[in-house]
Chains A and B, each alone.
Chain A
Amino acid sequence: GAVVSQHPSWVICKSGTSVKIECRSLDFQATTMFWYRQFPKQSLMLMATSNEGSKATYEQGVEKDKFLINHASLTLSTLTVTSAHPEDSSFYICSGLGSLNTGELFFGEGSRLTVL
């Protein structure tokens, strides 16, 4: 299957700083990527849909100024958590849509953010 890589896998930062997480599709072009947030022992919550060359579409209740998403190329989307606070600590996962015909998603390994 197709490969999606996330970086960093772990990040610890101080409250008030910004953190950038990268999501790359290594062997396919992902015109659409998705960002999820996962709390401990819970399912994935879709945060936003990222489309190459256009603004991201955010789900209800997700602050777009807090979670900045950029999808500048067909293989890279970034999520920047701005002015991070402890409540932003979570596991963030991205996925790339491999094919509109199959609806199959390919997931990154996830990035665990801890804000002190």
Chain B
Amino acid sequence: AQSVTQLDSQVPVFEEAPVELRCNYSSSVSVYLFWYVQYPNQGLQLLLKYLSGSTLVKGINGFEAEFNKSQTSFHLRKPSVHISDTAEYFCAVSDDSSASKIIFGSGTRLSIRP
């Protein structure tokens, strides 16, 4: 069975500092990996996704993530954060044979301090 673990429930950082949000997954088959962002009282917006190919994936708003198969990780990074990045971030995994069964991690709340 697939599962996703987000190791940090909250990550506070100062504005313009770099940030890494950690995500580990378990799966017995090939996977699709995703990072979503959720602003208060809104739905989820896709930041980036890994389907195949290059292990370094670039997304919107300056975020990027690296797929590491040996470590079963898909950590999200940004070199310099802004106040507007304050949100909840969800890592997700789905089985490529059945895209419907997407599993979300528990989420990481990123709070940016001025």
Name A's B-contacting residues (CB within 8 A): 1, 4, 6, 9, 32, 34, 41-44, 46, 49, 91, 93, 95, 97, 100, 102-110, 112
Bound state CA distance, A107 and B99, in angstroms? 14
- Of the candidates A95, A102, A110, the one whose C-beta lies within 8 Å of that of B41 is A110
Known: A97-B99, A110-B41. A104 touches B90 (CB 8 A): no
Interface size grouping (class) on chain B: 20 to 34
Do A49 and B100 contact each other (CB < 8 Å), given the known contacts A104-B49, A109-B43, A110-B41?
yes
CA distance A104 to B43 in the complex (A): 15
Q: Which residues of B contact A91 (CB under 8 A)?
A: 41
List, sorted by A's number, 11 A–B pairs whose CB atoms are closer than 8 Å. Answer: A4-B43, A41-B109, A42-B106, A42-B107, A43-B90, A93-B44, A97-B100, A103-B96, A104-B46, A107-B45, A112-B41
Main secondary structure of the interface of A (DSSP, over half): strand
A103 in complex: contacting residue of B32, B36, B107, CB < 8 Å: B32
